[in-house]
Structure 1
């Protein structure tokens, strides 16, 4: 009985509410719309690559429910922009309803083929507008996109849509191995990257045996997701960037980054794969380059005992790597004036032994995207197989001279030695973050900071006073503990200019940057 009474009352209430509700009565718009933006800038895209989705919010600030008679792109169906108005896709819309004191979203995308226009430039400013109503009530919001031409490098597909994979000598036994790495080998005509147009790479662009990829000063190399460079047996990479007096445009540097150019993606880690210096590649050289937003900036594998390092990297920056900045495995790396920052694991890791010589480098890690378990610098002399078998390999040398090793974690360097192979390292004239209040490492001779054979004139836990480390600005301020106090001239004479071409021979500071006074 009670249930029946409750149900009857509910039905009567709904009927009464419905009979009292006044139906919506939409009036034609009088042109008084307001917008979240006067112009929507879709930023820069490459030709034939779709943009991100941008939005425009349209407000009806009146007390009247209105209907917008027409909402359209100025170029109509011919426009290269695409709209989605409150969930409906199209380029022209009729009688778009908007309640009083309410708003609607318009989502905007574009894809443009720069070859469809006649231009002597490698970029083109594409514009259109969203028009609202007509006549006296006409309003519009402009749309602007910069479209860049590019050289596209991508693997082939067969008739069934299967993407080409790379086959090469993986294990160094002299015979070709099949891999599942999607990509293709560069042709001889593609082995010089110029600064005429950006390069956009899908999959891995591989350099074949006995070939050299040369990347000229000012070149821009962009990678799609899960893409990168792969340098194979007896092949080489030569990155020939030069100093850029204008540090905003970086016109002479070589920049490696993703193919998403919108500001939203500017500092997102893990957007592409890696520069992979595979086993057997040789005499790789990188000068004045920025490598950012990779999964691993550089992987250098094997060839640890050659008289010429497998990788020589100078005057370069490695930022925003979701795993490692540079990962060396049983390899040989010489680094001078290199700045590392923001890696999900270590900014530099030398694993399974090798030979590493770093002079005037800033190895920092201010990762904030997630919890970080690894220090900025990590060294070991072993690896563990899937069945937990431990294999050792000598760490022949790991020398860090006039370097800064710092970050937002503690400690910021970790040495992990397995008995059965050499573990040779030395820090000379360095500033290091390592605080061990519970004496966790006190029994390990590798952390005997009073041993000058391992730690010579090293300062611990003093503030390097970086300018803006969270924004990858690792220049040192005037309060820095790294300023001309402990810098060793023996090393600064080898590297007489810092990464900004400031002389450091008179009073060398630590790290890649010589101190200058910044204007706030």
Structure 2
């Protein structure tokens, strides 16, 4: 076991709804109808099974029929698989459908790109499902794209055990282990040549740096992630893309399910974990989506420079928190975080933070949430023990908003420093019940704490459900930015110049199409 001391088929199912005794007495003459004549199975990684897709097959005649054969055109060599009425195979015989009834066809695929194509990173693989033969034959086309990838995973040993990383010792003195592995030299640089698929936690060893090049795609299996150890670094430096849909130069971290229905599902993988003592992290033009926690940062490295510099980065659909920092040291600009099960930004147990032209919002609709978009604390309660640490945080030219009345919560312990300032920031804080009326932490008239703050006016986002946090021309954030801050961040996250009339948040306003 390697030590790593840190915290913490296609199966097609055709189910019969009816049957008959004798197909030959009432042949179909090729008159079946289908809910679709082509099944497009979404892109899958080589040797990884797809989701199940279904087609409905109708017998709209007044006669019961029997289909002599349902089979794949490629026969036993096909990478598609069928299961008809509970029977698996490439060819299934004698399937019955009652008059004006139907059956369902479910389809899956698994394919090895190396066996199909030489030196191609992706390959379009096709087949057909044949219903009957000869002049009565009808077909449903099957199409899928097989994509090659680097697969990184823990070693499996002869005794059946799996390589693990040690996360330290628990309160009872027991070692905490997790499925994971140490990245070797070959994989300390992720390129954009083909995607990376990670199983378990990929550990960056002490004293080394994981470099991720512009345009790289990193996919995680369930309960997987990246852990950067004490003394190690992670540098993910993408660049501005010309296509805002393809994001061809952006670095993207997401789950390994490529089907559209998984494109915005939170909690598909664990986190990028920057552990205590890790150092010199850089994120630029990065998208992190569908994790449990987007970035988890434990403590700063003790230097005078930020431990994490994060720019032009988007974090969406986190099951818990988008960016969670415990005593972190972060310098951030043009960062957008939305749609988190708890908080989009949680600064916990103090730390040092500067946020310029950032958009922190939370329009979570997948259930109840009890935390605001931004939660700031100089303490952390663990069991009966309260840990405290000094806090110093500044927000300038930012937007803090969401679908709850109060989207900012300040949790102070008087046992440590609690210093904060919001300057030129659009903030949602509707204290309808006067819960915080006498709390000086929320004295918005105190210019030492809140300077040029805009309360509860509409930011006019393009589409919060689709994580499109661009603001419109009628946004209350337009032209309200501090010029000095804008000079430090002269371009928005899309590369648009903001010097002449800086807006709040990561985006300069635009005219929405009607």
TM superposition score normalised by structure 2: 0.93
1:420 aligns with 2:415: yes
Tell whether the 8 Å contact from 1:165 to 1:179 is kept in structure 2 after alignment. Answer: no
Tell whether the 8 Å contact from 2:276 to 2:301 is kept in structure 1 after alignment. Answer: no
Distance in structure 2 (CA, Å) of the matches to 1:80 and 1:146: 12
Distance in structure 1 (CA, Å) of the matches to 2:415 and 2:438: 19
Q: 1:305 to 1:444 in 2, by over 3 A?
A: farther
Other structure's SS at 1:510 match: coil
1:434 aligns with 2:426: no
1:481 aligns with 2:480: no
Q: 1:304 to 1:392 in 2, by over 3 A?
A: farther
Return the offset for 1:98: 0.4
Return the offset for 1:310: 1.3
Tell whether the 8 Å contact from 2:278 to 2:301 is kept in structure 1 after alignment. Answer: no
Q: Which shifted more, 145-154 or 24-33?
A: 24-33
Distance in structure 1 (CA, Å) of the matches to 2:232 and 2:363: 34
Shift >4 Å, 4+ stretches:
23-26, 168-171
CA offsets 1:409-428 (integer angstroms, 9 cap, x no match): 12011111112111111100
Contiguous gaps of at least 5 residues in structure 1: 1-22, 172-176
Tell whether the 8 Å contact from 1:206 to 1:229 is kept in structure 2 after alignment. Answer: yes
Partner in structure 1 of residue 4 of structure 2 = none
Total equivalences in the alignment: 490
Tell whether the 8 Å contact from 2:279 to 2:301 is kept in structure 1 after alignment. Answer: no
Distance in structure 2 (CA, Å) of the matches to 1:341 and 1:162: 39
Contiguous gaps of at least 5 residues in structure 2: 1-19
Distance in structure 2 (CA, Å) of the matches to 1:86 and 1:106: 10
Output aligned runs, 1:256-275, within 5 Å: 256-275=253-272
1:51 aligns with 2:50: yes
Other structure's SS at 1:288 match: strand
Output aligned runs, 1:44-443, within 5 Å: 44-167=43-166, 179-303=176-300, 306-386=303-383, 388-395=384-391, 397-443=392-438
Other structure's SS at 1:350 match: strand
Distance in structure 2 (CA, Å) of the matches to 1:150 and 1:169: 32
Distance in structure 2 (CA, Å) of the matches to 1:216 and 1:193: 6
Tell whether the 8 Å contact from 1:380 to 1:417 is kept in structure 2 after alignment. Answer: yes
1:492 aligns with 2:479: no
Return the offset for 1:66: 0.5
Name which structure has the greater RCO, CA cutoff 8 Å, separation 6+: 2
Partner in structure 2 of residue 503 of structure 1 = 497
Return the offset for 1:334: 1.2
Distance in structure 2 (CA, Å) of the matches to 1:299 and 1:401: 23
Distance in structure 2 (CA, Å) of the matches to 1:319 and 1:367: 10
Other structure's SS at 1:369 match: coil
Distance in structure 1 (CA, Å) of the matches to 2:411 and 2:205: 35
Distance in structure 2 (CA, Å) of the matches to 1:374 and 1:129: 51
